[in-house]
Every structure is written in structure tokens, then in C-alpha cells.
Amino acid sequence: MSEPLILVADDSREIRNFIGENVLVPAGYAVQTAEDGMSALILAREIKPDLLITDQQMPNLTGIELIQHLRRDLPHLPAILITAEGSESLVVEALRAGAVDYLTKPFEAEYLLAAVGRALTERRRWESLVEARTEAQASAEDLANRLRTLEAMTLVGRTVTSLLDLDKILTTVIEAAVHLTRAEEGSLLLVDDESGELYMRASKNFDEEFARTCRLHIRDSLAEQVVASGKPVIIDERFPQENLTSSDIHSLIYMPLRLRGRVIGVLGVDNRKAGRWLTDQDKDVMMALADYATIAIETAQLFHRSEAERNKLETILTKSENGVIVTDPEDRLLLINRAAKQAFGVSGKLIGKPVVEVFEDEKLKNLLCTKVKLPRLDEIEVDEERFYSAQRTPIEGVGQAIVFHNITHLKELDRIKSEFVTTVSHDLRSPLTAVLGYLELIERAGTVNEQQGEFIRRAQTSVTQITDLVNDLLELGRVEAGLDMAKEETPLTVLARYAIEGLRGSAEAKEITLEVDLQEFTPLVNGDPVRLRQMIGNLLDNAIKYTPERGHVHLTVEAEGSQVVLQIRDTGVGIPQADQPFLFDKFFRARNVPEDLPGTGLGLSIVKSIVDNHGGRIWVDSKLGEGSTFTVVLQAVET
């Protein structure tokens, strides 16, 4: 059987792509699209689709007008109307025009697929009717009965599939089954997944107490044949009562409820009194009702699971102390939780509004309107008092999600720490200078032996290391505070060349090959040339320091979209995987660094602070024994 062909008419390319490429095609349907009502009318007459899905508001023809036109040309074509209104009057008008179902925007893919399944089921019923009409042309009365049954089935289908209360759904199915087959009793049995028994979930004309307590072992009943084989069981004049477990039953139909290849229950009707047999037409009715019941059960279960997940997510977002904001590609609010409302002083109905109309803080509006292609961590200051880290994550087909974490207390701790380090560092400089001076005077004061000279050199080395540490601490403090930061449009390639030339002697001393690949016409970046050169120099110095003799260090600068990417790759010792998350922390050194290799553990912290102050990102990729690659990404200046 060829896949059903569905025509999607909507003037929004995004909606057409979403319905066609993301929902229908993965579900096994063939899809054709049209961007307005008149195009859809012409295309439908040409391709004769199995189903029409149309938006209400379209150029040339509205969705309802399109359905009315096609009703004359293709009377058996089912149509689903998509509308943003959802008003009762529009629904009535759509049903009168011939629509079999409607969906209100926004809707979830599961509801659309369920509506498609119902519509195609109805179409199959119409097709079977047409075939039956051709075969039974001589029997006008029989055809009229089938038409009446089909009309009733269509009404039942619409009623059943519009409900989400499972008890009401199943009760409606049973009442329809008894009415359409003119049976005396009806029952809907579902399989208990734990015990394997069948229990009566809905019934018609059964004793209420019996229906509530009835549980059947599958092996003890006719239902065994239905559940085990997945095929219907019918008792009529051709298959009399020897097949029945109860002599009170005159005729009976049991129809399996199949969901995703598994029988989940049995729909049945029966007559206890002699005089009327259940027919093949009744079997067809029961088969259709079983399909409707299965679809309705699945829809209700999906709805309840979706509601449970939605309530769970809503509870998480409501109780979370972190602010969460989700925006669409047009910078309209899709979600904002309680913590975010409180943090930024907004209230009321905000969903769907542009962020520029919701928030007053310019820094926040700039943050929310900035487009990101990769996850990114930003920082924002609110009211010059509170600080938030903002983790932005792009979500394809949705927009972006931003999670705000209050880091005001961390900022204050960092300020106190920085002041303490700066004060202590300044206070250490004077005594260290004095110690170095006295160490030099010892050798001038008189002759020292070899051992004394070694002790003096060790002391001088230690004082030098402490002095380097103090200098690095002061340098880090200035970088973190943003002091001496004079930003201008700067060519990163020129700074890279200066850094290379400044360290070429260190590389040649170890016979390390320096390879440079600088892309021509690389965009400028907005930054402090001194700090950016310092950042490149620190990374190059580390690469040379940790690369064995006759190794290779490779530096590249190139443009990628609106960004400039700097990479420094070496063939050094590499960094253990467990150490990589802490590599940019203050005073941290990897566990595989030799003890005799000098260093304060602040070089990469300074690099990270410089990159952060320029709104960039830095990360490392490394394997032990193979080397490391440090990548820095900075925003290019717009030209």
C-alpha cells in the first residue's frame, strides 16, 4: 500500500516545514505543500490528496473557503483546519463547511498525528462506503442503511476523539456500539498489565456491581482468542452457540483493540435473546469503533502523560531559584519563570510579547536579543548591585533558553579576595627586595665557600619565584579589575606575529619548530592590544615550555562567520582528562607537570580573565602524550 498523500496549505514557510518535514514525513506520510488558498485549490484538483491540512488565514482563499470549494470537487476529501482563533463560532463554521477536525495554534506534534490518524480513518470509511455502494447498487435500502451508519460513525468519531476524559471516551464508544449494532449489551475490556487479566472498564446494560468487579482470566474466555490472535471473534447463525462459554448468549462480536502492534483490550457486543443475528455490517461498525477507541485511548494517555510532564516542568520552573527565560527567533517571550520575574521586576501576562517591551534594563535587553549559534556563558549586572551569570543555549526550532544564576555574593567574595591579594602582594614586595639586596651584598662582603654559594643561589631562586608569584598576582588583579584596559579595533594577526617573534628564541633553544598560519584579511577585533598580545604570549610560552625538544607548535588565526578564532596546538606532554576542567583556576597545575619546571599556576588564569574581559571564550582539547590545543574565540568588529 502506498503511503497516504497529504496536502498542507499554510502561508507560513515555518509552519509548512514543521508540519511536513518534522511531523508527517517521519511518520510515513507523503507531503505536498501550498503557500496560499488558490494554489492549494489548483494543486488539490491535480494530485487528489488523501487529506488536506489547511490554515484558516491565507491569501486569496481562507481555509474554510478552500474546504468549501474542494467539497464540490472532491467530496470525500477529509480536511483538518488549523486556526489561531479557537472560537466556537469558527469551529461551527468549519464543521459546516466539511472539516473533520480542527487544531488551535500552538499545537503539539502528537495531537496533529492523532488528528491525521482520525481523518484518514474516516476517509477509509468513506472509501469503503463508495466501494460498497458500487457493489450493492441494486440494494438501495442497504446502501441507505450504510450511509446512515457511516454518518453516525462520523459523528461518534468526532465526539469520541474530541474528548480527553478516558471514562467518557470509553462510555461513548460502548453506547455507540450498542446503538449502531442494535445489540442488547456492550462491554469494553482492557488488559491489566500486571496481572494479565481482563477487567471491565466500560459497559452498557450490565449490572453495575458486576461491571465494577468483573475480572476475566484470558485463558478462561473467548477473549483469549482475541487477545492471543489479535483477530475478531463473531458468533452468528454460521457459528452457533457451541463456541460460547455461556448458553445465554445468542450472538456476539469481540473486536481487538490494537495499539502499536499489541492487543490492549477487547470491544464486544452481544444479544441474549434469539431473533436478531449480528451481521458482517455490524462487524465493520465494531472494527471502526475499535479503531476510534484505540486512537482515543492513545490520545487520552498521551494527553495525561503530557499534562503530567508539563505540571512537573512547571513545578520545577516555579520552585527553582534560578531564573529561566525562553525566547523565540523573533525575540518574543515563550517562557519566564517566577525567579526571573522577581529578579528583573516584571509581572503580568508576558508570554508572546517582545522582550524590548517587557524589560527596561538595556543590558538585559541586549543580552536577550543577541543571537548565539553555540552555548555561551555571559554575565550581566542589574541595578549596579546584583550580578547574574547567564547560560545561553540555542534550541533549534524554538529560539534560545537563558538560565540566570545570582552570583552577587560570589562577586563580593571575589572583590574582597582581590583586595586582600593586592594588599598582601604590595606588602611583600619591599621585604623581598631587601632580601635580594642582602643576598647580593653577602658575596661582596667577602669570600664564600662553594656550599655557601649554593645556599645563596637557592635563596635567590626562591625569592625570584616568590617575586614572580607576587607580580602575577598583581597582574591578575589588574586584569580582573579591568584596569589599564584601552580597547580599540585591533588586528589579531599582527599581535600574533609580535608574540611569535618575542618567543622565537625560546623555541630555537629547544629546537622546537614554530608553524604560523595567519589567514589574510582577518576581521579586526575590539580589544586592548597589550592585553591580547599578553594572552597570546602566555599561551605560546606554555606551549613551548611543555613541548619536548624538537617538537612542534602551530599557531593559526582565521575568521569563522562573525568571529575570529585563534588556535595554538602543540605536541607536548598533554593534560590529564581529570585536570582539564580546573586548568584555568588560580594556582592550579596539572598533575603531570615536572616539579623542577618553574611556574606560578596563574598564567592561564590571566589568559582566561583577558578573554572574559573581551567577551570571548576559551577552551582546551588535549590527550596525554599527544599534545594540547587551546582555542580562543573573539567577536569580530562589524564592518
| CATH code, domain carrying 17 | 3.40.50.2300
Angle (CA) 470-473-474 rounded to 5° is 90
Q: Residue 383 maps to which CATH number?
A: 3.30.450.20
Measured CA to CA, the distance from residue 218 to residue 9 in angstroms comes to 48
Phi then psi for residue 74, to 5 deg, are -130, 80
Q: Residue 556 maps to which CATH number?
A: 3.30.565.10
Please state, for a pLDDT cut of 70, what percent of the chain lies above it.
84
Asked whether residue 570 carries a pLDDT value surpassing 90, the answer given is yes
pLDDT tens for residues 48-69?
999 899 998 888 889 889 889 9
Q: Which amino acid is at 9?
A: A
Give me the pLDDT at residue 566, please. 94
Sign of the C-alpha dihedral, residues 10, 12, 15, 19?
positive
C-alpha cell at 588: 592550579
Give me the pLDDT at residue 483, please. 46
Measured CA to CA, the distance from residue 127 to residue 76 in angstroms comes to 8
90 plus 191 within the same structural domain: no
286 plus 170 within the same structural domain: yes
Q: Residue 422 maps to which CATH number?
A: 1.10.287.130
Give me the pLDDT at residue 200, please. 80
Q: Residue 187 maps to which CATH number?
A: 3.30.450.40
Residue corresponding to grid cell 582565521: 558
Give me the pLDDT at residue 425, please. 65
Q: What is the mean pLDDT of residues 546-554?
A: 91
351 plus 460 within the same structural domain: no
Which of the listed residues 439, 458, 481 is the one where a domain comes to its end? Answer: 481
More confident residue, 203 or 196: 203
Closest CA to 142 of 150, 131, 133, 151: 133
Give me the pLDDT at residue 152, please. 67
372 plus 416 within the same structural domain: no
Give me the pLDDT at residue 138, please. 46
What interhelical angle do 603-613 and 450-481 show, nearest 10? 20
Sequence-distant (6+) residues with CB within 8 A of 476 are 586, 602, 605, 606, 609
Phi then psi for residue 528, to 5 deg, are -85, 115
For residues 246 and 169, the answer to whether their CB atoms sit within 8 Å is no
Sign of the C-alpha dihedral, residues 117, 119, 125, 130?
negative
Measured CA to CA, the distance from residue 282 to residue 284 in angstroms comes to 5
Q: Of 58-67, 202-211, 242-251, which gets the smallest average pLDDT?
A: 242-251
* Cβ neighbours of 88 (radius 10 Å): 8
Binning the chain into helix, strand and coil, the percentages to the nearest 5 are 50, 25, 30
Q: What is the mean pLDDT of residues 103-120?
A: 86
498 plus 603 within the same structural domain: yes
Helix (H) or strand (E) holding 569: strand 563-570
Give me the pLDDT at residue 539, please. 93
Asked whether residue 503 carries a pLDDT value surpassing 60, the answer given is yes
pLDDT tens for residues 439-468?
777 877 777 788 877 777 777 777 776 776
Q: HSE-up of 266 (CA within 13 Å, CB side)?
A: 32
351 plus 436 within the same structural domain: no
Give me the pLDDT at residue 144, please. 64
498 plus 470 within the same structural domain: no
Measured CA to CA, the distance from residue 295 to residue 239 in angstroms comes to 30
Give me the pLDDT at residue 472, please. 63
More confident residue, 499 or 251: 499
Measured CA to CA, the distance from residue 343 to residue 623 in angstroms comes to 42
Which of the listed residues 277, 296, 319 is the one where a domain comes to its end? Answer: 319
Give 628's pLDDT tier (boundaries 50, 70, 90): very high
Give me the pLDDT at residue 612, please. 86
More confident residue, 636 or 261: 636
Give me the pLDDT at residue 372, please. 65
C-alpha cell at 168: 467518557
> Which of 119-123, 243-247, 277-281 is the most confident on average?
119-123
Residue 85 domain boundaries = 1-116+123-132
140 plus 269 within the same structural domain: yes
Q: Which amino acid is at 524?
A: L
pLDDT tens for residues 66-93?
889 988 888 888 889 888 876 778 888 8
Total number of domains constituting the chain = 5
Phi then psi for residue 170, to 5 deg, are -70, -35
426 plus 384 within the same structural domain: no
- Cis link prior to 106 (omega < 30° from 0)? yes
Q: How far is CA 96 from CA 10, 71, 89, 99, 484, in A?
A: 21, 11, 11, 7, 74
Which of the listed residues 391, 406, 421 is the one where a domain comes to its end? Answer: 406
Residue corresponding to grid cell 531559584: 321
For residues 70 and 44, the answer to whether their CB atoms sit within 8 Å is yes
Asked whether residue 481 carries a pLDDT value surpassing 60, the answer given is no
More confident residue, 551 or 434: 551
447 plus 523 within the same structural domain: no
Q: Using CB atoms within 10 A of its CB, is residue 114 exposed (0-12), middle (13-18) or buried (19+)?
A: buried
Asked whether residue 244 carries a pLDDT value surpassing 60, the answer given is no
DSSP state of 581: G
Asked whether residue 383 carries a pLDDT value surpassing 80, the answer given is no
For residues 339 and 324, the answer to whether their CB atoms sit within 8 Å is yes
Residue corresponding to grid cell 551569570: 389
Give 243's pLDDT tier (boundaries 50, 70, 90): very low
Asked whether residue 494 carries a pLDDT value surpassing 80, the answer given is yes
630 plus 583 within the same structural domain: yes
Give me the pLDDT at residue 598, please. 65
Asked whether residue 554 carries a pLDDT value surpassing 90, the answer given is yes
Sign of the C-alpha dihedral, residues 241, 242, 248, 254?
negative
Q: What is the mean pLDDT of residues 9-24?
A: 89
For residues 228 and 217, the answer to whether their CB atoms sit within 8 Å is no
208 plus 223 within the same structural domain: yes
Measured CA to CA, the distance from residue 523 to residue 37 in angstroms comes to 47
More confident residue, 160 or 419: 419
Asked whether residue 274 carries a pLDDT value surpassing 80, the answer given is no
Measured CA to CA, the distance from residue 175 to residue 179 in angstroms comes to 6
pLDDT tens for residues 330-370?
989 988 888 888 888 888 888 889 988 888 878 788 878 87
Asked whether residue 486 carries a pLDDT value surpassing 80, the answer given is no
